[in-house]
């Protein structure tokens, strides 16, 4: 009996170690609403024209709502940038599952200025992140943009496999944006309008910050 219990414990430990060593790709379900520090994502049904490792959402809380396509969790297209996947057609597939040290290099083209940038993603490792009252294991990824005009941009993103989405990321001003709540259509606050004011997301009907 003791041997059976010990074997079961070893299996559990082994599964946890495997989880910590890599993370598979997954996407949030259509219909979920993700509320972050200063914005909200409404996950929409996936278009048949989109390939694997892509999902779409409506960006809410801004002055105007925008449609966004997100590739491989870490690359997004809101109409301003085009990702030149032809320069590295198998890059996303090889980047996943996430493992410490994995790298992806891909070219980005600004649709307005036509400027190019070489974007590099590097998996740093795992860190705990807090979403609501729970702690999750998240994979920290460093994004580094080397722009054509010699400028550079650095961003960090935290992907939580249990949530199939980003639990946190830094924005263009190096502020950390955290996932606060995940709402399902059956949740009481699901349909409440939100608005961003002074860098924070508020419920528009009560003018109280989202927590």
Of the listed ranges 26-30, 78-82, 84-88, 140-144, the one predicted with least confidence: 78-82
On whether residue 3 sits in a domain, the answer given is no
pTM, whole model, 2 decimals?
Answer: 0.86
Residue 119, classed as helix, strand or coil, is strand
Residue 57, domain extent: 25-209
On whether residue 9 sits in a domain, the answer given is no
On whether residue 149 sits in a domain, the answer given is yes
On whether residue 1 sits in a domain, the answer given is no
Q: Domain count of the chain? A: 1
On whether residue 20 sits in a domain, the answer given is no
* Residue with the two structure tokens 């949030």: 28
Q: Write the CATH number for 89.
A: 2.40.360
Q: Could you tell me whether strands 40-44 and 176-183 are parallel, antiparallel, or unpaired per DSSP bridges?
A: unpaired
On whether residue 18 sits in a domain, the answer given is no
Q: Model confidence at 167, in pLDDT bands (50, 70, 90)?
A: very high
Provide the pLDDT for residue 117: 84
Q: How far is CA 106 from CA 18, 54, 76, 85, 128, in A?
A: 28, 16, 13, 7, 28
Of the listed ranges 105-109, 125-129, 165-169, the one predicted with least confidence: 105-109
Average pLDDT value for the chain? 87
**Residues of the chain above pLDDT 90, percent:** 63
Q: What is the pLDDT of residues 38-84, one digit of tens each?
A: 999 999 998 888 888 999 999 999 888 999 999 999 998 877 677 77
Find the radius of gyration of the CA atoms of the chain.
19
Count of other CB atoms within 10 angstroms of residue 122: 16
On whether residue 16 sits in a domain, the answer given is no
Contacts of 173 (CB under 8 A, 6+ apart): none
User: Does 44 or 17 have the greater pLDDT score?
Assistant: 44
Torsion of CA 119, 130, 42, 122, to 10 degrees: 10
Provide the pLDDT for residue 9: 31
Our separate counts of H helices and E strands in the chain read: 2, 15
Provide the pLDDT for residue 115: 79
């Amino acid at each position: 009996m003791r041997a059976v219990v010990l074997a079961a414990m070893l299996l559990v430990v082994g599964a946890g170690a495997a989880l910590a060593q890599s993370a598979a790709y997954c996407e949030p379900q259509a219909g979920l609403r993700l509320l972050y520090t200063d914005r909200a994502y409404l996950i929409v049904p996936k278009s048949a024209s989109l390939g694997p490792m892509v999902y779409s959402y409506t960006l809410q809380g801004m002055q105007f709502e925008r449609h966004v396509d997100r590739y491989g969790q870490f690359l997004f297209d809101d109409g301003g940038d085009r990702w030149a996947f032809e320069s590295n057609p198998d890059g996303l597939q090889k980047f996943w599952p996430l493992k410490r040290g994995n790298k992806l290099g891909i070219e980005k083209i600004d649709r307005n200025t036509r400027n190019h940038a070489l974007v590099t993603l590097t998996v740093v490792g795992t860190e705990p992140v807090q979403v609501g009252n729970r702690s999750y294991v998240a994979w920290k990824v460093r994004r580094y943009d080397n722009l054509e005009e010699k400028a550079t941009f650095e961003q960090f993103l935290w992907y939580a496999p249990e949530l199939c989405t980003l639990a946190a990321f830094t924005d263009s001003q190096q502020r950390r944006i955290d996932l606060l709540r995940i709402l399902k259509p059956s949740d009481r606050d699901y349909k409440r309008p939100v608005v961003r004011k002074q860098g924070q997301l508020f419920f528009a009907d009560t003018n109280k910050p989202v927590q």
